[in-house]
Amino acid sequence: MQTKTQISFHFLIPFKLPQRKKLKLFLHSLFQEESYKLTDLSYVFCDDDYLLDLNRRFLKHDYYTDILSFPGSKSKDNKVSGEIYISVERVRENAKVHNSSFREEIHRVIFHGALHLCHYKDKTRKEQARMRRKEDDCLIRYFK
């Protein structure tokens, strides 16, 4: 599946993300299944302090988080772009708290960010449950 879409991974901290090609193909298929045309997507892997600074500056939230998703310009023809920032430190902590592997948790967060760009929300309990079901579905399909 060849496409002109750019999915890029940037590392502000030492971190290795295995199977990037497989992940890119999966992300392309995810957007396609959700009826969106992905035009540009950047994942930036960073530490807690970097993401906390972004959270404070752009969202006025003074707390740590594992992910921030910034959608690109809105398009009327279902084109999607965005930047997704992930704190590797926070993901490691969340894996311990949720008794899951780091590998599973980092992919859950990667898919979570993509789903936000597909307009899934997680503010209410109902939205959170729907998001979790979509994440779980992505994990099952990705790791099969």
Going by pLDDT thresholds of 50, 70 and 90, the confidence category of residue 27 is very high
| pLDDT computed for residue 113 by the predictor | 98
pLDDT in tens, 100-126: 999 999 999 999 999 999 999 999 999
pLDDT in tens, 48-93: 999 999 999 999 999 999 999 999 976 678 899 999 999 999 999 9
Q: Look up the CATH superfamily of 6-143.
A: Metalloproteases ("zincins"), catalytic domain (3.40.390.30)
Going by pLDDT thresholds of 50, 70 and 90, the confidence category of residue 2 is very low
Cα–Cα dist 85/67, whole Å: 6
Of 130, 103, 119, 131, whose CA–CA distance to 22 is shortest? 103
Of 71, 96, 101, whose CA–CA distance to 83 is shortest? 71
Going by pLDDT thresholds of 50, 70 and 90, the confidence category of residue 4 is low
Asked if residue 21 has pLDDT above 70, the reply is yes
For the entire predicted model, the pTM comes to 0.94
DSSP 101: -
Domain range summary for the chain, segments of one domain joined by +: 6-143
Cα–Cα dist 25/114, whole Å: 13
Beta bridge partners of 40: 6, 81
Q: Which residue has the tokens 């993300």?
A: 17
